[in-house]
Copies of this chain bind each other. A is one copy, B any other.
């Protein structure tokens, strides 16, 4: 694949912020690196991308992103190995999904040389921001917004693609208790749930706030029509272990085709952990919790990698999961992150050197 960036105009920051960053005490997504990539789409074509100091930019109050929500993003990470090489994890998957999201929101696709080539050029400049050591990473946020002005409800003709970078340690911490959604939903059949679209997330905030007030950190989303099928956990895909088999819902128009999700499925297969990709019913998980065969629930996503869930609530009853040192979540997270940090052989060809 041609990931050579077209001529990228680079303006270097005069001073780096890196000395002022406490890398041991990062909270997720608050600190950004010195530079960002920006690329404008106008007159039916992408213009030359630029890399420049991270800074606010000017936008019209009538920009369509503010009124009609044409906004998509991706979440990726860069890792540094013991030889100071910087690695990406399956960037082609994020690139493909980004353009699927773009199509679903009637936005232009971003060429590979801008998305992948531009990202590599940006990472090259920001190598110092990728810290060694497991748990450290540089979170990558490519996104596209509709910048065209005018309040008619129609797709924009102007867009801006950007990549910003944020040093990260871990996304979630502490025990995660979840509540199974009985009323609210994150996605419609024939909707945009499978797209990484900004609008999907704002829909979750209020129900999640209600869950928080009841003492739960996240919601396990169910299908909106019947609330009988388990679909996602918070902003992650979700896996259930009954006895020694993992279950996760098939991707659909409502469910994000997560890169961590698909990597876990492939990794589990390699490790001879049975995985069944099929609709997972609330009723069978409740039954398994009651008869003691439900061993684990965990979320899977780029930010948190694998996030164990210690219990769930459904129809006002709380089900505590067994505590175990020997979990699939721990085993799969260890094996997956070892591949990401180049501490184990990448038998899948998932890692890409920057």
User: Which of chain A's residues 62-94 have a Cβ closer than 8 Å to chain B?
Assistant: 62, 65-71, 73
Q: With both chains docked as a complex, state the minimum distance between the C-beta of A11 and any C-beta of chain B, in angstroms.
A: 15
Q: Which residues of B contact A154 (CB under 8 A)?
A: 205
| A274 close to chain B: CB less than 8 A | no
- Give the interface centre of A58, A66, A105, A224 by most chain B CB atoms within 10 Å: A66
**Complex interface bits, A7-46 against B, C-beta within 8 A gives 1, otherwise 0:** 0000000000000000000011110100010000000000
Q: Which residues of B contact A188 (CB under 8 A)?
A: 185-189, 191, 193, 224
Q: How many subunits of this chain does the assembly comprise?
A: 2
| A130 close to chain B: CB less than 8 A | no
B185 in contact with A190 (CB, 8 Å): yes
Complex-state Cα separation, A206 to B36, whole angstroms: 29
Complex-state Cα separation, A187 to B104, whole angstroms: 15
- Give the interface centre of A65, A153, A209 by most chain B CB atoms within 10 Å: A153
User: Of B30, B162, B164, B200, which is within 8 A of A69 by CB?
Assistant: B200
**Complex interface bits, A167-182 against B, C-beta within 8 A gives 1, otherwise 0:** 0000100000000010
Complex-state Cα separation, A104 to B160, whole angstroms: 28
| A323 close to chain B: CB less than 8 A | no
